[in-house]
Structure 1
Amino acid sequence: MKSSVEQLTPTRVKLNVEIPFEELSSEFEGAYAALAQQVRIPGFRPGKAPAKLIEARVGRDAVLAQVVNDVIPVKYSEAVEEADLKVISNPEIDVAEIVDGQPVKFTAEVDIRPEIKLPDYSKLAVKVDSVKEGDEAVDEQLEGLRERFGTLKAVERGAKDGDHVTLDLEATVDGKPVPDATTEGLTHEVGSGQLIDGLDEAVQGLKAGEQADFSTKLVAGEFADSDANVTVKVGSVKERELPELDDEFAQMASEFDTMDELRAAVGEQVGQSLKMEQANAVRDQVLEELIDKTDFPVPEGVVQEEVDGQIAQMMQSIGNDEAMFERLLEAQGTTREDFEKEAREGAERSVRAQLLLDAIADEEKTEVSQEELTQQIIFLSQRYGMAPQDFVNQLQQSGQIGALYADARRNKALSSIVTNVKVTDDKGKKVDVTEFFTPPQEGEDEGDDA
């Protein structure tokens, strides 16, 4: 096999491959076997017909086509490996005319990873928010715990923000009832903004049994984009009553006997959580700084593929309803052109980050152990509420195991260089990141990095 590489752009090449016909001899046996499963010849079981009969039935050209289809992926991979190309997209393959006895020629255009000159990490500097004071964060957590154990109590006063109310709604457009916006006994938290515009303002101050009228623009259904008149009637008003932060509460809400013990445990958890949040912020800021400091061309085809994927995912989530998509854009005050422009900017930055982290991983010789990959799978399966094996099966069926490994490798590569970067908080204090980002010691397996 002969092959050559033609550089089309800094991120795209064309492979020219020529396969001598004699190199195909070993492929004919496989081609006949494949065709034998497809062709039915009287007197022979499937897969058992002789090669000459198969060729007589389907023709020599069909056999040649089968051979070429089988051999091209193999020879393409060999050409990529021989040229030491770092391909990052599927190839566009063009096969020349196939002539029996003559060399098989094909070309393959493919995107490749560009050359990336990495910056000196020690010259990078990032700033993150300082960790909140412990007492303030602990109080927030305990307040959230109180709300979880709070009870709703009926009140006779008018509704205000934070109250839970039951509502009856009736809506009309030009005197016609709107079934989608008509309901009884609906539960709603005043001030949450989770229902139609104008509702929270209308129920403010209303007592149980009182009603009010207001106007709003409908955003979905038969009367989408129409102005509707809505009557809301309050059935009940309840306020959330929170328990006192005392020993009795500690025993009810936790395994601790006293409030002091509960506060100390929450303080420890909060402290670790806040440190982890800061560590994540450090990693994100380092990546942003790397992207801003490193200039290289990004493959247009890969960016477009990501843009198309984002739009396809969005359309699938709304049942490929173009009209609904347009209404969503209008509700957000944007246009399809602006949406696609924003999607392209995000896709380009995402691809740039992936290419940059791949280059760092190569430079740092980053590898992901089987144990680390397993931990990543367990973490993600828990996030999606799936059993780990079911999650693995889904990844295998969709061909995403490789992508999962690549993401784990990129994350590990980024973590491995964070300790080289100067990190300070918004108060000018140096941030010690070694608790979460400890570089491998000399002689250690790099898979042990935190």
Structure 2
Amino acid sequence: MKSAVETLNPTRVRLTVEVPFEELKDSLDAAYKKINQQVTVPGFRKGKIPARVIDQRFGRGAVLEEAVNEALPKLYQSAVEEGELNPLGQPEVDITELKDNELLAFTAEVDIRPEIEIPDYSGIDVEVDAVEVSDEDVDKAVEQLRERFATTAVVERAAAEGDVVKVDLEAKVDGEVLEDGVAKGVDYTIGSGELLDGIDEAVTGLEAGGTATFTSELKGGSAAGQEAEVSVTVESVSSRELPELDDDFAQLASEFDTLEEMREDSRKRLADQKKYEQATQAQEKVLDALLELVEVPIPEKLLQDEVESRKHNLVNHQLAQLGLDLAGYLKMQDKSEEDFEAELKEQAEKGIRTQFVLDELVNKEKLNVSQEELTEHLMRRAQSSGMSPDQFAQAVVEGGQVPMLVGEVARGKALAKVVESVTVKDTNGEVVDLDDEDESEAGTEEAAAEEVVAKAEEGAEGAEGGEGKTGETEQKSDS
């Protein structure tokens, strides 16, 4: 077999392949065997029909077509390996010549990973928020904990802010009650902002049995984004009683004996959270700065596929779960379809560029992923997905997504390595050392890097794993 590579542009090549007919012998034998199992000829047992009879009865062309279809993926793959290419997605194959007992010739156009030059990035300098936990931060955290242990008691008075009201709701659009616009016995804390806009004003001052009407834009359901007339009836009013902030509360709400010990633990937890947020912020800013340094040509077809994939995921999964369609979502976001498409394209471009650049760094730095690192990443992904580690691992294996997870970890390590080489300062002008010797904080840095990479690539599947699909081809034939 002879093959040659012609570069059409930085992200697309054309392979020209010529195959002597003797190299198709195995594929021809397989073609005759397959046809043997599919057809019946009087006087011959199934599977025992001679090749010459198949040629006479069904035509040599049918055999050649079957043989070529069987051989093309392997021939294409051999040409890819010979040309040392990194293809993306499926090739477009054009059979240019097929001479029986002489020659098979074809071309294959395919997108490839562009060659990327990673410049010196050690000069990158980014600023992040300082890790500072104020007394007010601790007070807020303790108050939130206190809220969780609040008790309620029904009262015979008008509802006020902070009270819990049990309400019945009915929503109408254009005077018609919506099928999904009726709800009964809903508990709502006045002032929480967790229901419809306008409900706080409507129920404040009402006693049990009181009714009010207000207009509000619906956030979900069949009429999401539309103005509705909402009737609300208060079934009951309950006051919320917060526990006293003392040592007894500390013993009730935590593992500590005193309120001061509990406050110190809250301070430490807040500091750890802020360190994680600081690490994430650093990773995001360093990634953006790195991408600005590197020129990354993007295959147009890959970009189109990525945009469509992200749009499909948003519309058919995320919005569908909320009972929204794209039009309703755009209205809520106050965006035009043109703005939405532009944002989607920008996000897709960043996702693809992130993969290409960090994959190049993985190769350049020869970064490997250990089983332990993969397991830790799997555990984090399982936790964020709401599945048990066993369930998530099973879904990953069955979906053939192990290479995808390995790629996420490797790219996270590549980004973390870049961060180690650049200057990160906080808003106080202090140099931030994210490469801490403490194992828990080192793990935090890696987890933050993986999260940033996953966020940038969210919905991105086009650039990942496309190389593994080279066995499938789109064919055009001029013969």
1:44-443 aligned at under 5 Å gives the runs 58-133=58-133, 135-173=135-173, 175-218=175-218, 227-317=227-317, 324-435=325-436
Q: Is the 8 A contact 1:14 1:110 kept in 2?
A: yes
Question: How has the CA–CA distance of structure 1 residues 257 and 277 changed in structure 2, closer, same or farther, with 3 Å as cutoff?
Answer: same
Distance in 2 separating the partners of 1:108 and 1:367? 32
Distance in 2 separating the partners of 1:188 and 1:45? 77
Distance in 2 separating the partners of 1:10 and 1:290? 21
What root-mean-square deviation, in Å, do the aligned CA atoms of Structure 1 and Structure 2 show? Answer: 3.3
1:366 is aligned with what amino acid? L
Distance in 2 separating the partners of 1:163 and 1:48? 85
Question: How has the CA–CA distance of structure 1 residues 226 and 329 changed in structure 2, closer, same or farther, with 3 Å as cutoff?
Answer: closer
- The SS at the match of 1:84 is coil
Distance in 1 separating the partners of 2:407 and 2:355? 9
1:96 is aligned with what amino acid? T
Q: Is the 8 A contact 2:170 2:182 kept in 1?
A: yes
What does residue 4 of structure 1 align with?
4
What does residue 18 of structure 1 align with?
18
- The SS at the match of 1:68 is helix
How far residue 219 of structure 1 moved from its aligned partner, in angstroms, is 6.4
How far residue 414 of structure 1 moved from its aligned partner, in angstroms, is 0.9
What does residue 443 of structure 1 align with?
none
Q: Is the 8 A contact 2:222 2:323 kept in 1?
A: no
Q: Is the 8 A contact 1:303 1:348 kept in 2?
A: yes
Residue-by-residue CA offset, 1:79-99 (whole Å, 9 max, x unaligned): 222222222333222233533
Residue-by-residue CA offset, 1:138-179 (whole Å, 9 max, x unaligned): 444333322222222334554344432111234445554444
- The SS at the match of 1:120 is coil
Q: Is the 8 A contact 2:118 2:294 kept in 1?
A: yes
385-394 or 355-364, which deviates more: 385-394
Distance in 2 separating the partners of 1:354 and 1:430? 28
Structure 1 gaps, min length 5: 439-448
1:354 is aligned with what amino acid? Q
Distance in 1 separating the partners of 2:209 and 2:332? 33
Question: How has the CA–CA distance of structure 1 residues 101 and 268 changed in structure 2, closer, same or farther, with 3 Å as cutoff?
Answer: same
350-359 or 157-166, which deviates more: 157-166
Q: Is the 8 A contact 1:418 1:437 kept in 2?
A: no
Identity of aligned residues (%): 45
TM-score by length of 1: 0.86
How far residue 431 of structure 1 moved from its aligned partner, in angstroms, is 0.6
Distance in 2 separating the partners of 1:45 and 1:370? 53
321-330 or 411-420, which deviates more: 321-330
- The SS at the match of 1:17 is strand
1:81 is aligned with what amino acid? E
Question: How has the CA–CA distance of structure 1 residues 332 and 226 changed in structure 2, closer, same or farther, with 3 Å as cutoff?
Answer: closer
How far residue 395 of structure 1 moved from its aligned partner, in angstroms, is 2.7
How far residue 410 of structure 1 moved from its aligned partner, in angstroms, is 0.9
What does residue 445 of structure 1 align with?
none
Q: Is the 8 A contact 2:221 2:324 kept in 1?
A: no
Distance in 2 separating the partners of 1:157 and 1:261? 39
Which is bigger in relative contact order (C-alpha 8 A, separation at least 6)?
2
How far residue 33 of structure 1 moved from its aligned partner, in angstroms, is 4.0
How far residue 223 of structure 1 moved from its aligned partner, in angstroms, is 6.2
Distance in 2 separating the partners of 1:35 and 1:437? 66
Distance in 2 separating the partners of 1:213 and 1:294? 58
How far residue 321 of structure 1 moved from its aligned partner, in angstroms, is 13
Structure 2 gaps, min length 5: 440-448, 451-479
343-352 or 68-77, which deviates more: 68-77
